[in-house]
Amino acid sequence: MPDVAVIGASMTKFGRREEWVLELLAEAAEACLEDAGVEGTDLDHLYVSNMASGEFEGMTGIPNALAHDIAAMPAYTQRVDQTSSSGGAGTYAAWQSVASGASDMTLLVGAEKMTHRSTGESTDIIASVTHPVEYKHGVTLPSFAGLTARLYLDRFDAPRESLAKVAVKNHENGTRNPHAQFQKEIDVETAMSSPMVADPLRLYDFCPITDGSAAMLFCPADLAREYADEYAVVSGVAGATDTHVVHERADPTTMGGVVDSGRAAYEMAGLDPEDVDVAELHDMFTILEFLQMEGLDLAPKGEAWKEMDRGTTAIDGELPINTSGGLKSKGHPLGASGVGQGYEIYKQLVGEAGDRQVDAEVGLACNVGGFGNCVITTIMEARP
Amino acid sequence: MTMEAYRYGDGSITYPGHPRGPDGSEPVGTVDLSEYTAEVVTWTTSHATPPGVREPNTLAIVEFDVDGTPVRAIGQVTTDDVEIGDEVEPVHVDELREPGAGIREPASQDWDGYRFEPTG
C-alpha cells in the first residue's frame, strides 16, 4: 500500500459570501490545482465534502457539477456527507482512493453555503442530525454544548473563564489568518459578558455560521516530488462513531469517537500524542477544544483547561492548537471545515503558514460530526 | 401515554429503544419510565431556539434508577429553576414543539412527550 501525499491545498475566504455552493467549490478547486500545478484533466477521483447543499439551497449532485466546471471528466466523483465531519471523512476517502491504488491523483473539495438562511433555520438544519426523541424537545447542537459544559465545569472544578480563554486564544490566532471569518481580537471580559446562548455558554463560545470552501490534493508519495519540493504525507487517518443518542453515553464529557479515532490514527502513524507539534481541533463550541484535547491524550482527563491557563496551547506554546483561528474564529462552513483543518496542518508542515507559522513536523486534525457522533482524526507529517 | 424504554438481554435499559442493545442483544421487554422519578445530571437553558420551539428552552439530561439499572433521558424542563442533583418527575405534554415549523417532516415522528418537573 503506497504512502499517500498531500501536494497542494487551498481555501477560500470564509465568512459571508455572495457565491453559492458550486461557485465556492470551483474557487477552492481551481486554487488547489494551481497550487500544485495540476490540471483538472489529470484527476482520477474527485470527492466533494458537503453536509446539506440540498437543504440549504436546493442544489444536489454537486460532485458531477464541479467535475464539469473544472474539466475533470471522466474522473470518478462522490459526495461525502458525514455532517460536520464531512471534510475529515472526505480526507479519509481521498486517502483510501490513493492508498488502494484506485487513483493516482485525487482532489478533495469541501464547501457549504449557509449565511443566506436565518440563524434559526441553519440551527434547525444542523439539528436535523438528532434522534426524534431529541429533536421534538428542541434539542440543538448548541444546547448539547451547554449541557456538557455545565457538567465539565462542575465535575472538574474548572473556572468558567477557562472557556472564554479558548475563544480569546482562537480569535487572536484568527487575526493572523487572512481567510478567517473574524479578524478581531476579544478579551475575556467581552466573552464573559456576551449574550447567553445555552447556559452557561455565551455568544463567544460558539462558532459563527459561515460560507466557504477548502481543497486538498492527494497522490502517491513516490509521485509527490514531481509536483512539490516540500509536501506532507498522511501517516495516520481513522474514523469512529459514538452513540447517535447523546444522553446514552456513560460519560457525557468523553467523546468516544474522538478517543477511538485518535488511538487508531496514532497506531497507524506509529506516533504518540507527545509527537504532535500542532493540532487543529473542532472547536465548534469552546468546550469541544477541551474534550478533544483530553480524548486525544493531549491533556489528562479534566485538565485541558489547566493547559490552557499555562499557555501550552497558545501559538507560541508547547502545543499550539487551532493556529488557524479554529472553527471559532475562522468559521465553520460544515462540509468545508475538516478540509480547512487539513489545509492549515498542510501549510504548517510545508512552512507556508505566514504570520501563524509554528515549528512543526507532525500535525493532527480532529473533525467532529454531530455532537461527537462521528469523528475523523488525521495525522500528517512533513516530507522530505 | 408511556415513556417507553427497552430492556435488553444483558439487563441494560435504553431510552429510546433500539433494535439492538449496547452489547448487540435483542430487546426482551419494555419499561415505562413515566412511572419513575429521575435525578438531573446536567441542564442548560437555550436562548436561541429553532423554528417552532419555545424560547427560552430549558433542557436536562436526567438519570432514572430502574431497580438498580441506570437509564438516561433528555427532555424539556417545566421551569428554569433547576440544579444538578435535583429530583424530577416526567409530566406529559401533548406537543413539545410545533410540528412542521422545522425542517423535519411532521409525519416522520411523534411530537408529544414528557417534560421533567422538579419534585421538591
Residue B44 to residue A147, Cβ atoms within 8 A = yes
Q: Tell me, yes or no, whether B19 lies in a domain.
A: no
Phi, psi of A16 (to 5 degrees): -90, 115
Give chain B's domain count: 1
Spatial separation of the C-alpha atoms in residues B83 and A200, rounded to whole Å: 12
Of the pLDDT bands very low, low, confident and very high (cuts 50, 70, 90), residue A2 is confident
What domains can be seen in chain A, in order of their start residue? 4-117+209-224 (3.40.47.10)
CB proximity B113 to A under 8 Å: yes
Q: Tell me, yes or no, whether B90 lies in a domain.
A: yes
Element (H, E) at A63: helix A62-69
pLDDT in tens, A226-264: 999 999 999 999 999 999 999 999 999 999 999 999 999
Residue B74 to residue A133, Cβ atoms within 8 A = yes
Q: Tell me, yes or no, whether B25 lies in a domain.
A: no
ipTM of the complex: 0.98
Cell of A90: 472526505
Q: Region A282-288: what's the mean pLDDT? A: 98
Residue A218 pLDDT exceeds 90: yes
Q: Tell me, yes or no, whether B3 lies in a domain.
A: no
Is there a cis peptide before residue A333, judged by omega within 30 degrees of 0? no
- Strands, DSSP E only, in chain A? 4-11, 45-49, 76-80, 106-112, 196-198, 201-202, 212-220, 231-241, 278-281, 362-369, 374-383
What are the Cα distances from residue A174, in Å, to A289, A342, B30? 16, 16, 51
CB proximity B2 to A under 8 Å: no
Spatial separation of the C-alpha atoms in residues A105 and A46, rounded to whole Å: 9
CB proximity B91 to A under 8 Å: no
pLDDT in single tens digits along all 120 residues of chain B: 899 999 999 999 999 999 999 999 999 999 999 999 999 999 999 999 999 999 999 999 999 999 999 999 999 999 999 999 999 999 999 999 999 999 999 999 999 999 999 998
Average pLDDT value for chain A:
97
Q: Tell me, yes or no, whether B77 lies in a domain.
A: yes
Q: Tell me, yes or no, whether B41 lies in a domain.
A: yes
Cα torsion A83, A88, A91, A92: sign: negative
Residue A150 to residue B43, Cβ atoms within 8 A = yes
Identify the bridge partners of residue A219 per DSSP, sorted by sequence position. Answer: A5
Cell of B86: 435535583
- The residues, any chain, with a CB within 8 Å of residue B69's CB and separated by 6 or more, are B11, B12, B13
Residue A247 to residue B72, Cβ atoms within 8 A = yes
Q: Region A196-203: what's the mean pLDDT? A: 98
Cell of A261: 479515532
Q: Tell me, yes or no, whether B44 lies in a domain.
A: yes
CB proximity B6 to A under 8 Å: no
Q: Tell me, yes or no, whether B61 lies in a domain.
A: yes
Chain A residue with the nearest C-alpha to that of B108: A132
- Domain with B43, as residue range(s), is 36-118
Sequence letter at residue A23: E
CA distance, residue A59 to nearest chain B CA (Å): 16
Residue B59 to residue A143, Cβ atoms within 8 A = yes
| pTM for the structure as a whole | 0.97
Spatial separation of the C-alpha atoms in residues A8 and A343, rounded to whole Å: 9
Residue A146 to residue B45, Cβ atoms within 8 A = yes
